Amino acid sequence: MTGFPIYFLILVGSTYLIRALPFSLMRGTVKSRFAKSFLYYIPFAVLAAMTLPEALFTTGNIISAAVGLLVACAVALFSRSLSLSAALSSGAALITELLLSFFSRG
């Protein structure tokens, strides 16, 4: 956890300024269609790039991670709840891991 204060300052400072500066700097609206489209797509692009392939290697077992992610996709098809997706996905990964360790032992 070395350097936490500096990480913390960068996190808090950048998060605050990116939200607060527009209120002081911007007096008009974004007109460019390109800029508007870019700003619209950026959050989805960031989250997608953060999730795959990285998430497959977070649980220390690619099979349980894949099962968890598939469950997250299935949940997202009928619900927009972040908490439900998080709970069912981790639950599925945990059960898979327990089953795998059970069978590899037996």
Partner 1 sequence: MNSFYRGLRSGVPIALGYLAVSFSFGIIAVSLGLDAPSAVLISALTLTSAGQLAAVGVIASAGGYITMLISQLTINMRYAFMSVSLTQRLSPRFRGVLRWLLGFYITDEIFAVASREEEITPSFFFGLSLLPHIGWTLGTLVGALVGGILPEAVLSSLSLALYAMFVAIVLPAARAERSVLAVVLVAIALSSLFYFLPPLTAVPSGLAVSISALLAAFFGAVFFPRTEGEVEK
Q: Is 5 or 106 the residue whose CB approaches partner 1 more closely?
A: 5
Tokens 């605050």 locate to 16
Which whole-number Å values give the CA distances from 21 to 4, 5, 78, in the listed order? Answer: 25, 23, 37
Site for partner 1 in 40-79 (CB under 8 A): 40-55, 58-60, 64-65, 68-69, 71-73, 75-77, 79
Q: Residue count at the site for partner 1 (CB under 8 A)?
A: 78
Residue 104 CB, nearest approach to partner 1 (Å): 14
Binding of partner 1 by 99 (CB under 8 A): no
Asked if 88 interacts with partner 1 (CB under 8 A), we say yes
Task: Give the alpha-carbon dihedral of 72, 73, 75, 76, to 10 degrees.
Answer: 110
